[in-house]
Structure 1
Amino acid sequence: MLQPSTQPFDLCPNYQESTKAKTTIPREQKKRKAGESSTEAASVQHLRPGMVLLKGFVKPEDQIGMVSMCRQLGKGPGGFYRPSLKNGAKLNLWIMSLGKNWDPTARSYGPTRPFDGAQAPTIPDAFKMIAQTANSTASEFPQINPDICIINYNTNSGKLGLHQDKDESESSLTKGLPFISISIGDTAEFMFGNTRDKDQATKINLESGDVLILGGESRLLFHGVSHVKTNTAPSWLKEETGIRPGRINLTFRQY
């Protein structure tokens, strides 16, 4: 059973306003105008039926904005908490739910967290827009209206075993509505397969700005993270945000 720790957590403890002047974003990314769709720059990879990877989809300024908003929300009511085991051992993971609260112990959703009564913060419109644009770009899935966003922060020593995401409504799962996963920060070695056997799992790298979408035939695919690679986040992201070493993962779903 998980007993959460709710001590305040700052995703970007090294943030300084002065860092903005030193930030260097790659030239090819600078040429893209504010608000421009990521579709032209992203590489669309169909990994298997119902599984699409959009490499480099989230542009740098949007990654910076998402980190900033995650930091702001994470420090407020209903923000990041750290699950720990009943014996007191803490996991190398912090969680925050937007839209609806996800209870990892009960494997269910609700409006508030059972351990502190905090309401789930609202999903920012900018987050929804990025997720829905990715959904459209993949072109393989029905469009969703995300009403849930689960945000995980993993340290470089954090792992996530093979599992299925199946706590959404029966209707959502039956229709194979996709979930949309955005990676920001250090690179994760992501694994997936038809069973929980990690030795049989396929592995790919998910880098900062990548979007992975699973729906249809792959909606209940087993997936996880074998490890997070140290010091692989873009230098401009670290300089601009002061983000901790590790990886942020935002997953958008329709209940």
Structure 2
Amino acid sequence: MENNDESSYEKLGCGMILLKRYISLSDQVEIVNICQQLGFHVNGFKECIPSGEKLGLQMMMLGSTWYPPSCYPDSIKPLTVPRKIISLVSSSIQDSQRHLNLKDKISSKCSNHCVVKFYTNTDGLALHEERDDKSWYRFRRKGRPVVSMFIGDSAEFFYSDARNLSKVDNILLESGDVLIFDNNSGDIFHGLHKIIPNSAPLPFLRKSMLKPGLLNLSFRRF
């Protein structure tokens, strides 16, 4: 795994760990190419508007254990999560543990399920909880983290320990960032305030040819 020498670590409130610029340029380009290739399959990217979403987006489900949204046929066979992406997610979990106290230690096991989203406009994502997912508590009992990777345009991310938009914290998520929710952070309310148009790094755009938008890979089912 290629390391990014410019990466940095930040521990946020509510049990979240942010790895800034964690994914190297070459790995970002490779992930885009992988997702584009998988997206051409019949069970690849679909136009989906899950509950709480306001952003126009395409969605793709990867992994052996999953609960497909209504835009997928019930009989569809999911695609396998590529080894390259699994390796990167596993490394991000291990690296985040270096910055945690023992009481905050999270599992080093990686999810075998990934939700891939490509946001195509700049509207916002409603404030929501991971535990809104019907299977959240089963994942939480296993003590495994949620890992979310961001590639492409930057996004304003907001979070709070209460469903109150007047009491939220904000951070800027940029291409190459990885956000990790530890096993105690299921009650966090969070969402995307907006995507910043034309904010992806030019060297990345030249190599990946990714169209305007934000590619998000979220590992959250186990």
* 2:8 corresponding residue in structure 1: 43
* 1:179 corresponding residue in structure 2: 146
* 1:98 corresponding residue in structure 2: 62
8 Å CA contact retained: 1:178, 1:219:
no
* 1:123 corresponding residue in structure 2: 81
1:233 aligns with 2:200: yes
TM-score (ref. length: structure 2): 0.86
1:57 aligns with 2:15: no
- Of stretches 183-192 and 233-242 in structure 1, the one that deviates more from structure 2 is 233-242
8 Å CA contact retained: 2:81, 2:114:
yes
Residue identity in the other structure for 1:83: C
Out of 79, 98, 113, the position equivalent to 1:148 is 113
Out of 142, 161, 169, the position equivalent to 1:194 is 161
Pair member with larger Rg: 1
TM-score (ref. length: structure 1): 0.75
1:73 aligns with 2:73: no
- Of stretches 44-53 and 200-209 in structure 1, the one that deviates more from structure 2 is 44-53
8 Å CA contact retained: 2:55, 2:124:
no
C-alpha distance in 2 between matches for 1:138 and 1:170: 22
Say which SS state the counterpart of residue 149 (structure 2) adopts: strand
8 Å CA contact retained: 1:136, 1:143:
yes
The unaligned stretches of length 5 or more in structure 1 are 1-34, 106-112
8 Å CA contact retained: 2:148, 2:180:
yes
C-alpha distance in 1 between matches for 2:16 and 2:2: 25
Residue identity in the other structure for 1:117: S
Q: What is the aligned length?
A: 209
Give, in angstroms, the shift of residue 50 of structure 1. Answer: 2.1
Decide whether aligned partners of structure 1 residues 155 and 67 sit closer, same or farther in structure 2, where only a CA change above 3 A counts. Answer: same
* 2:211 corresponding residue in structure 1: 244
Give, in angstroms, the shift of residue 165 of structure 1. Answer: 1.7
Of all paired residues, the percent bearing the same amino acid is: 32
Give, in angstroms, the shift of residue 41 of structure 1. Answer: 3.4
Q: Considering only aligned residues, what root-mean-square deviation do their CA atoms show, in Å? A: 2.1
8 Å CA contact retained: 1:95, 1:152:
yes
C-alpha distance in 2 between matches for 1:220 and 1:245: 32
8 Å CA contact retained: 1:57, 1:209:
yes
Say which SS state the counterpart of residue 231 (structure 1) adopts: coil
Say which SS state the counterpart of residue 216 (structure 1) adopts: coil
Give, in angstroms, the shift of residue 145 of structure 1. Answer: 2.5
